Amino acid sequence: MSPDQAFGVLRRFLADSRHRFVSDDLSCADRVVRTDLMGGANQVTDHYLVALARQHRLSLATFDEPLAKAFAGEAGLVLLLRGTHP
């Protein structure tokens, strides 16, 4: 996917009536990111987004099956999207 295509997808998400802004209000001092489930530093962003979803009582939708499996014990927190994606 090109950057222009990615921004097109983002603009469609923003235009959706279900869209809502989520404040980035987590602090590293709070230790709410599940570092015990991380295999490496490359997973920090994904796990931070999961913690943000948890904090705001939302679900994180992803195409990342390993991420969804890592949080399978927290029902509804990480939702695996199936099928084709851009």
Distances from the Cα of 62 to the Cα of 28, 30, 31, 67, 71, angstroms = 23, 25, 23, 8, 12
Rounded-to-integer distance, Cα 39 and Cα 35, Å:
9
Question: Which pLDDT tens digit goes with each residue over 57-78?
Answer: 999 988 889 999 999 999 999 9
Site of tokens 């990111």: 33
Question: Which pLDDT tens digit goes with each residue over 3-51?
Answer: 888 888 889 888 989 888 888 888 777 777 787 877 887 888 888 899 9
Taking the model in full, what pTM does it have? 0.72
Domain ranges across the chain: 22-80
